[in-house]
Amino acid sequence: MLAPVARHAYDPSTMADELHLRDVRDDDRPTLLALNAASVAVLSPMNDARLDQLLAASAMCRVVEQNRDVRAFVLAFREGADYDSVNYRWFDARYPRFLYVDRVVVDTACRGAGFGQRLYADVFERARRDDVPRVTCEFDVEPPNPASERFHARQGFVEVGRQTLPGGKQVSLQAADVAQSLR
């Protein structure tokens, strides 16, 4: 079991001038694991060994820091990655070039404050920089996740497929055209 993550109190009034977006560092690992564990109802579980695998195969892992505390992170993969996710493999079988967002995880105290949008803007900027035409992801539709559905629609994502996973969970497979995304 992970020890609780020491955090400063979240103060949305200081968000604009206190946020810092950066690449993940090794000392972020306990916080990434704790944030993921707090949202495991809508994410795949992740332990230390799994985090090692994901980081080794990923194209990017970025964090949002506020007052030196990691409040959110994104983990994304390019086509051809050594990644065993059935959702990622669905995209890899269909698109020659893409950036797949595996997870965006935001501290529960910070949801709705723009952290996810900031991370997605960074993902789209990376895709533009690397001349990748689309960003892909998925979210649950069974059980439903209407907040994620609304969020992704605002980011320009559209459904390109669905699949049912072992255990009966169904996901909406989404793609967004990088050229059409907001800058």
pLDDT for 183 equals: 53
Residue 115 burial class via C-beta count within 10 angstroms: exposed 0-12, middle 13-18, buried 19 and up: buried
Does the domain formed by 15-180 have CATH 3.40.630.30? yes
List the pLDDT tens digit at each of the 183 positions of the chain: 223 333 444 444 444 447 899 999 999 999 999 999 998 887 889 999 999 999 999 999 999 999 999 999 999 999 999 999 999 999 999 999 999 999 999 999 998 899 999 999 999 999 999 999 999 999 999 888 898 899 999 999 999 999 999 888 899 999 999 998 755
Q: How far apart are CA 24 and CA 19, in angstroms?
A: 15
List the domain boundaries for the chain: 15-180
Side chain identity, residue 148: S
DSSP class per residue in 4-62:
PPP-PPP-GGGHHHHEEEEE--GGGHHHHHHHHHHTTTSS----HHHHHHHHHH-SEEE
